Amino acid sequence: MDGPSEKKEKVVKEKVVKEKGATSGPGGKKKKDVKKETGLGLSVKKDENFGEWYSEVCKHEMIEYYDISGCYILRPWSMAIWEIMHAFFDAELKKMKVKNCYFPLFVSPGALERETDHIEGFAPEVAWVTKSGKSDLEVPLAIRPTSETVMYPYFSKWIRGHRDLPLKLNQWCNVVRWEFSNPTPFIRSREFLWQEGHTAFATKEEADEEVLQVLELYRRIYEEYLAVPIVKGMKSENEKFAGGLYTTSIEAFIPNTGRGVQGATSHCLGQNFAKMFEINYENEKGETAMVWQNSWAYTTRTIGVMIMTHGDDKGLILPPKIAPVQVVVIPVPYKDANTQGIFDACSATVSALSEAGIRAEEDLRDNYSPGWKYSNWEMKGVPLRIEIGPRDLENDQVRTVRRDNGVKEDIPRGGLVEHVKELLVKIQENMFEVAKQKREACVEVIKTWDEFSNALKEKKLILAPWCDEKEVEIDVKGRTKGETGAAKTLCSPFDQPELPEGTLCFASGKPAKKWTYWGRSY
Ligand code: 87F
């Protein structure tokens, strides 16, 4: 259903002239560059050069690279995805009676150093402001890498009696961690957006319950919204947040690179911070008691995991539930056709869909051919395209084209809204199922060191019986160190397969205590 080809050619030329004027001096552009600038297709395939593929997909309206390494501009298309996740999660937090707040960006050295144990390992990543204008600041200020040391002095001030508990706060903000390893848009950036929840309870039981309640919300973001399958589990001693008691996480897996990726974490901090920051209260018996605390976060990394999971050689594929535009309606006029009639049918379709709560948009631009528009919206990942041409107008129908599997259907215009609703649900489910099957195909259950080494070479998500000893994990890390990073534990899944009596640890030969996922990771 492409439009006339001369028109497409003309558009290509116009775009190139514009770009040339804006970005380069005299002299022609190479053919590949022309292709890129027009937005028609990617220059590399996902399976051939994953890194370059990912960067090209991100650069298509999600991200703009910035002149500071590791910092990226989130363009409206990715910001809109973040906002949809924000709306879901924020509403859930309100149901849990968590209150939003905002603490300052800057941390005084005194506050930061008050808690040395957990900060120690992270110190090289803390960015500092040392000057205002040309003069040195009297006291340099840290930029928050996380807000424990910012918030907890005030928890100590605000919590006095048992009636002040539980205290459940959340903030949506940016944080800065001056990473040195390989920056990647969304996945590892020096500044990123997140929500950080910090809560305090009278009892450990309440804290334990909330850890899992929040982890379940994180699972829902990944599985129900982003259509990314995850594993819920417990972090090892070596991988948990050092300042806390235990860390739970959800873990995703990227088949193309064979790497695990931590999707979000929910920590029980125990009473460690309460001790350091003197967060005490008077209990019902009039005695002084210490609070139990949790903290939990998910970040804009979610978007990167989703892109990596679903994208294909045509670009992004967005699950309907997080797509800023769920349906794009494109007119396909021919020279002698009733162009106005087609345009009106497009607008009427968008109105009907919008009224039903579907995020729909029309693309009536007259300086792009239908074919160019198809590619452009495919690249942006819009889950469903509706085409309306002269024949469709005549037959009172539209053509739907699914982004996830390319399936085309001609649908009568009566009943379209219901049909589109169903299609969006099907696309969402199919994307999750396909992603799950791809991940399942990567899981390898191993019993011995040799099997482990081979599975690692084959980029598998490894499930292994383990003795759960910190030294053994450190040893495995040492033995697998290479250019692509060492293997480590991802998590011990809550959903444990049976561990027969006498099963031995794959790495130490000691009795195994649990099944644990291992792999290289982001
Ligand atoms: C980098 C620099 C300084 C991670 C850091 O996961 C400090 C830190 O404390 C740091 N990188 N962390 C751990 C963050 C733990 C915790 N904070 C609240 C969370 C959830 C949200």
Q: Apex CA 234: angle with CA 233 and CA 240, to 5°?
A: 135
Alpha helices in 126-174 (DSSP H): 148-158
* pLDDT for the residue numbered 19: 33
Q: Which percentage of the chain shows pLDDT scores above 70?
A: 92
Mean pLDDT over 18-24 rounds to 34
CA distances from 329 to 173, 349, 370, 415, 436 (A): 35, 8, 11, 16, 30
User: Can you say how many angstroms the Cα of residue 396 is from the centroid of all Cα atoms in its chain?
Assistant: 40
Residue of 146, 188, 246, 268 best suited for mutating to test ligand 1, as the one with most atoms within 8 Å of CB = 146
Distance from the alpha carbon of residue 322 to the mean position of ligand 1, in angstroms? 27
Question: What is d(CA 166, CA 292) in angstroms, rounded to the nearest whole number?
Answer: 9
The Cα angle at residue 122 between residues 116 and 125, in degrees rounded to 5 = 130
Between the CA of 119 and the centroid of ligand 1 the distance, in Å, is: 8
Give the residue whose CA is nearest to atom 10 of ligand 1.
146
Q: How far apart are CA 350 and CA 330, in angstroms?
A: 10
Radius of gyration, CA atoms only, the chain: 26
Compute the average pLDDT of residues 74-90: 98
Distance 211 CA to ligand 1 centre (A): 16
pLDDT in tens, 157-196: 999 999 999 999 999 999 999 998 899 999 999 999 999 9
Q: Is 13 a residue whose pLDDT tops 60? A: no
* Residue 482 pLDDT: 86
For the CA atoms of 461, 465, 467, 468, what is the dihedral angle to 10 degrees? Answer: 40
CA 152 to centroid of ligand 1, rounded, Å: 14
Read off the pLDDT of each residue in 382-391 and give the average, rounded to a whole number. Answer: 97
Res. 40 pLDDT band, cuts 50 70 90: low
| Measured distance CA(175)–CA(145) in Å, rounded | 5
- Residue 110 has a CB neighbour count (10 Å cut-off) of 10
- Ligand 1: nearest atom to the Cα of 118: 9
> How many angstroms is it from 92 CA to the middle of ligand 1?
23
CA distance 121 to 126: 10
Cα-to-centroid distance, 106 and ligand 1 (Å) = 15
Distance 107 CA to ligand 1 centre (A): 14
Which tens digits make up the pLDDT trace of 444-459? 999 999 999 999 999 9
Q: What region, left, alpha or beta, does residue 325 occupy, with left being phi > 0 and alpha being psi -120 to 50 degrees?
A: beta
Atom of ligand 1 nearest to the CA of 242: 13
State which ligand 1 atom lies nearest to the alpha carbon of 125.
2
Instruction: Output the residue whose Cα is nearest ligand 1's atom 1.
Output: 122
Residue nearest to atom 12 of ligand 1 (CA): 146
Q: Which atom of ligand 1 is nearest to the CA of 247?
A: 6
CA-266 nearest atom, ligand 1: 20
Residues in the chain: 522
- 145 CA to centre of ligand 1 in angstroms: 6
pLDDT of residue 25: 34
Angle at the Cα of 227 from the Cα atoms of 219 and 352, rounded to 5 degrees: 120
Pocket of ligand 1 (CB under 6 A): 118-119, 122, 125-126, 145-146, 148, 177, 196, 241, 265, 267, 295-297
Residue 39 three-state SS: coil
Cα-to-centroid distance, 241 and ligand 1 (Å): 8
Residue 144 DSSP symbol:
P
- First CA to last CA distance, the chain: 42
From the CA of 197, give the closest atom in ligand 1: 21
- CA of 249 from ligand 1 middle (Å) equals 14
292 phi/psi in degrees, rounded to 5: -105, 135
What's the pLDDT band for 23 if we cut at 50, 70, 90? very low
Closest residue by CA, ligand 1 atom 13: 241
Ligand 1 centroid distance, CA of 296 (Å): 10
pLDDT 10s digits, 84-103:
999 999 999 999 999 999 99
Q: Which residue from 113, 117, 118, 122 has its CB within 8 A of the most atoms of ligand 1, so it is best to mutate?
A: 122
**Element (H or E) spanning 11, and its range?**
helix 5-23
Name the residue with higher pLDDT: 8 or 147.
Answer: 147
The residue nearest atom 3 of ligand 1, judged by CA position, is 122
Contact criterion met (CB below 8 Å) for 334 and 81: no
The strand pairing partners of 401, in sequence order, are 385, 408
Q: 359 is written with which tokens?
A: 């995020």
Average pLDDT over residues 36-61: 88
pLDDT at 31 over 50: no
Query: Which residue is it, tokens 């169903």?
Result: 422
Distance 432 CA to ligand 1 centre (A): 30
The angle formed by the CA atoms of residues 51, 181 and 297, to the nearest 5 degrees, is: 90
pLDDT for the residue numbered 337: 80
Range list of β-strands (E), 367-508: 384-388, 397-402, 408-412, 443-445, 461-466, 488-493
Helix (H, G, I), strand (E, B) or coil at 342: helix
Q: Which of 241, 246, 249, 298 to mutate to test the pocket of ligand 1 (most atoms within 8 A of CB)?
A: 241
Average pLDDT value for residue range 481-487: 90
* CA atoms of 474 and 479, how far apart (whole Å): 9
Contact status, residue 159 vs residue 291, Cβ threshold 8 Å: yes
Spacing of C-alpha 434 from chain mean position: 18
Placement of tokens 């997140």 in the chain: 194
